[in-house]
């Protein structure tokens, strides 16, 4: 049986601190390497709009700053402590006018492989 794992924000804080305007950094902590069912991680965004076709169900929790998700022309705004569910199949944009940090949980865990993705904006190649 697998053991619980602890992930420390301090280990990736330098990536948030180094973000330039228009930047994003995604650190997937839960992947096919350590889970058979779900994925999850942290996303730092700074003055950016990233269009995306969502190929998995996703839960988003806004940790800090103000996050906006655009879906079908409608804006969904999250403040720290807010969360939302986004069903797969939607064409969306992840946005912020300043900087924000969000946590995401995604299902299924192998969403990137199922979609045939070789890269995702903000995810380091070794985390794909």
Identify the band that residue 101 occupies on the pLDDT scale cut at 50, 70 and 90: very high
Quick: pLDDT tens for 46-78.
999 999 999 999 999 999 999 999 999 999 999
- Domain range summary for the chain, segments of one domain joined by +: 9-115
Instruction: Please state which CATH class domain 9-115 belongs to.
Output: mainly beta
d(CA 26, CA 66): 17
pTM for the full predicted model: 0.94
Quick: pLDDT tens for 6-53.
999 999 999 999 999 999 999 999 999 999 999 999 999 999 999 999
Q: How far is the CA of 65 from the CAs of 47, 68, 86, in angstroms?
A: 11, 10, 19
In sequence order, the 6+-apart residues with CB closer than 8 A to the CB of 80 are 62, 63, 64, 65
């Amino acid at each position: 049986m697998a053991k619980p794992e602890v992930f420390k924000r301090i280990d990736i804080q330098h990536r948030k601190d180094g973000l330039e305007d228009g930047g994003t950094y995604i650190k997937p902590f839960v992947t096919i390497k350590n889970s058979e069912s779900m994925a999850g991680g942290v996303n730092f965004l700074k003055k950016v709009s990233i269009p995306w076709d969502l190929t998995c169900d996703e839960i988003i929790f806004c940790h800090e700053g103000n996050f906006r998700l655009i879906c079908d022309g409608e804006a969904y705004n999250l403040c720290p402590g807010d969360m939302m569910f986004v069903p797969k199949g939607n064409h969306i944009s992840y946005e912020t006018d300043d900087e924000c940090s969000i946590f995401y949980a995604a299902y299924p865990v192998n969403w990137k492989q199922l979609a045939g993705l070789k890269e995702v904006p903000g995810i380091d190649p070794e985390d794909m």
